[in-house]
Amino acid sequence: MNTTTKTALLILATCWAAQGTAAEWHYEGPHGVEHWGEQFVTCAEGVNQSPVDITETLSAELAPLHIDYQGQVSELVNNGHTIQANVSGQNTLTIEGETFTLKQFHFHTPSENTIQHKHYPLEAHFVHANPQGNLAVIAAMFESGPRGNPALKTLLTRLPKNGDRITLSDALSPVSLLPREREYYRFNGSLTTPPCTEGVRWYVMKEPQASTPAQTSALQEIMGSNARPVQPLNARVVLQ
């Protein structure tokens, strides 16, 4: 393993550790969003931070997202910041000749990314990594609807309390939480949680899924409001 790969994997491990440690940061209070930069410099000084408000875009010939999720959700974890779904089996994203493996997906209420200044009630982030440790995140929005999402209903049957995890017995493919239409917005960004590491490829799906108010409320009641405010776009361009 070369030095570049070791460094990338170390960054990846640090990101997972920071997401899973509830005591180091929060969304409110003395360790809330406005204080993240005191412990995690990139959160304050990074110039390619996420989330963003998608308003002006540049039309481009974007490569299709080849999503091949053959596995299933294996467990739900409440890490004190979000409800995270861990997966098993082979679940890959291939884009522009590179293949990324799905590591986990998790939820934010309300949405972190916004489109034309609009927050959606719920956003899911599907976090992928390639062998070099580079990250790619697919973001799926959920808007309020009377029927909701059947897969989301199954997922929310029982939610773990803070620090707990639940093994799932029902076979549930993570692809069932993604929209069928795969058009997306593309930009370079960061993790939306400390250490706010940059170099993350973002793919925000255009077509929203549906969640009932009860489904969204169930998540928000156990997670709280866990959306980082939108960050300056600076010199970046959002492609579509």
Q: How far are the Cα atoms of 20, 143, 197, 214, 221 from residue 217, in angstroms, in the given order? A: 23, 13, 30, 5, 6
At 154, give phi and psi (nearest 5°). -65, -45
DSSP 35: G
Q: Contact at 8 Å (CB) between 192 and 19? A: no
| Residue 25 tokens, joined | 């940061």
| Residue 170 tokens, joined | 């029902």
Q: Contact at 8 Å (CB) between 32 and 224? A: no
* Alpha-helical regions (H) of 46-104: none
Amino acid found at 97: G
Sign of torsion over alpha carbons 77, 33, 120, 46: negative
Q: How far are the Cα atoms of 13, 38, 153 from residue 20, in angstroms, in the given order? A: 11, 19, 25
Q: Contact at 8 Å (CB) between 92 and 101? A: yes
Amino acid found at 227: A
Catalytic residue among 26, 31, 81, 125: 81
Distance CA 216, CA 82 (A): 13
Active site residue 81: yes
Q: What are the catalytic residues?
A: 81
